[in-house]
Structure 1
Amino acid sequence: MSDKNIILKAENISKQYRLGTVGTGTLSHDLNRLWHKIRGKEDPYLKVGEVNDRSTKANSDYVWALQDINFEVEQGEVLGIIGKNGAGKSTLLKILSKVTAPTTGVIKSRGRIASLLEVGTGFNPELTGRENIYLNGAILGMTKKEITSKLDEIIEFSGCERYIDTPTKRYSSGMTVRLAFAVAAFLEPEILVVDEVLAVGDAEFQKKAIGKMQDISREGGRTVLFVSHNMAAVKSLCTKGIVLENGEIVYTDGADKAVDYYLTRSSQIKDTSLVDRKDRKGSGEIKFSKIELFNKINQNVNEIISGEFVKFRFHINVDIDISIEGLVFGVVFRDNNETKIADFYSDEMGINFKKVLKSGYVDLEIERLMLRGGYYYLDIVVQNGKIAVNQIDLIHRAFNFTVFQGDYWNSGKINRATNVALIDGFFKE
């Protein structure tokens, strides 16, 4: 690595697995590989294999879990690796951590790498928590004196002080991941590799761990590679993002753009047609036909992040010449418990709804979505005036969508997910 700021570099990384067996394959395949190697020939099985798509039936015995992965990570950078389940994220981290070797390609790195890939990785279940701290530190190349100097901080951060002298086989998965993360974070590796294991911990620990990773990268100047399905955490924590799909990198950019790309790419836009809904009420002169959700870059999505711009588009069919005066359009936001969270009515905004009908749709734009993370749905109605009995079209649960937690107050902290509305307000210090 010629560039002094590049601390980790992946060059043409590919990983091939043989389906349906344990190990590298059959004896005949291994002998065939050896024979080609002796003659200086290329591995014959590198020419076969299919793309890593878990949703389709395989026609080959070999699959490429990763194929031609290339990227560089600078010192102090936080790289978010995102993608669907089975995209190859964990395989990539295992290769970067040198847990497994790539089939082709090479990893170049400088400094110690600490990895947190699975709950209890590197822990001996028969040893106590305290003994495992020393064991992990030794694996990372730390001296006993260095580990002892950080011991109290590790134990305090993990929150496992009462059980620190108990064998870890008696720990819950949450306690194990707490201690494992504390060890990896406080023993100051140059590169920290963290998989989705933090999801095992409770909400309090996840926020604590994300804050620690921010401190590691911003103040310590150390590098973090972070895999997560928590898009708000990726946006808040990471400076750069790569999107994996079927074992290949399909997008690389800043973390915000990478998340937006992933949400758009991964969001299979569901059929939002309302034409065939039989549970609607009203006289029917006007009928909702479809609802669409758009993000800040005007892409059609099913999910949005708390605190970001969102646009709901309500398509409308008008079968006759509408002469009704005082039309009112209403949208009600509810959570999964059917609790009303917020509502919008056109007459309160001074909107002449009859003018809107000419375009065939009406947009509801929200500059900052004031909802915490969770699942929500919409009730929609067109009625004549404020009286509910004068309904023209009413559909309950007309549209459902997902809100991911976000950094609503731009504080560097991820807001809680509790299915309630947010209100702009600040504590005064």
Structure 2
Amino acid sequence: MASYIGPAEILNKKRKYLIPCVYHFYQQPMQLVRGQMQYLYDQTGKQYLDCFAGVSVVNCGHCNPQITKAICEQVNTLQHTTTIYLTETIVNLAERLAGLTPGRLQKSFFCASGTEANEGAALLASIYTGKHEFISMRQGLHGRTKLTMNLTGLSFWRTDTNPMGGISFAPNAYCYRCPMHKRYPECDLACANEIETVIQTATSGQVAALIAEPIQGNGGIITPPPGYFKRMKEILDKYNILLIIDEVQTGFGRTGKMFAIEHYEVEPDIMTMAKALANGTPVGAFTARPEIADKYTRPGASTLGGNPVTAAAALATLDVITGQNLPARAAELGQHLKNGLLRLQEKHPFIGDVRGLGLMLGAELVLADQTPAIKEIDIVLEKMKDRGFLVGKNGPNRNVLAFQPPLVITQANLDDLLNHLDDVLSSL
């Protein structure tokens, strides 16, 4: 068995050499040393069922052999050039994305992360419109750079002590705790209608774009009701404002369709993606309709964006997703998991709400008075980890259990997860 330094020494080095904003889960963390499809293994050899997929990244499973083979073959032939030279993989990937993305989205720019993709999409929106204000959603998360952090509507992630102006926030479609104090469907999508009020009152009218996640991941798996994005798009079109859809967490089969916005039958003007596009190889991209993309003519490059290894990994990932029809698998297994969580909700008052689409599901934990169960969720996560299950948490109060496993997970895995979660909730 290989020799590992262990969790204690990693924590020691982490304190000494990493900037302390880099936080970790668990009071008693383990050292992860190996991954295989839906499983992870620690330094002792203990197996964990990964129910978070590195935050919605390894949709095809850890170290998927088909993807790993493509990466190794590319590394052994041409590991790196940059975008100023011609390579085949980057244009093949762009062509492949044009065939998979919704509507008329066609031309892409590749970078190395979701943050960069959102930053680039915002820049493209300003170039195309000549406008510089933005609207974002409360509880949205779009990145960690200056602009994308300021487009983020979660105070947990807003660490910039000198925030930028020109960004207005609209209420999100959080039906469980409606910001408009209404109930769907009698509400007539009041939260979407409020976007027009924000345009009229909080902006100068010179808004380049609104950016939104189809399902807010870090925001607590906030899943808008049917019709929400159509109403939003009608309002934006009235004021000639572009719609940027952030599919960084939701893309590539996660929600039961290739992209989550397809559930809402709306075509974005610009769309961003990252995470699952290359199954863990660092990648980001933004894609747009040709008439928008073609306005970006001054020189632009990305040293690492779309390099041969990244593009080969992404092409292999898309082969697995489409070849094994992982979106349909996510839809079927997601419904099974959701039904199981709803049964647990009937049994355990701790579960206040269950929401999401496909294998992107959230269970909001609450106390008897519906206030967030902030301490209790950490107990649940720790106990589930000890039982061999890695579950995420998110939301503005970090009280939402997040289930975003690799899409190669099995129904038996999910039943095992539900049985153990039942035991843990009973123990509380």
Task: Tell me which of the two structures has the higher relative contact order, counting C-alpha pairs closer than 8 angstroms and 6 or more residues apart.
Answer: 2
Larger radius of gyration: 1
Tell me whether the two structures share a fold, i.e. TM-score over 0.5. Answer: no
Q: What's the TM-score bracket when you normalise by the shorter of the two chains?
A: under 0.3
Higher helix proportion:
2
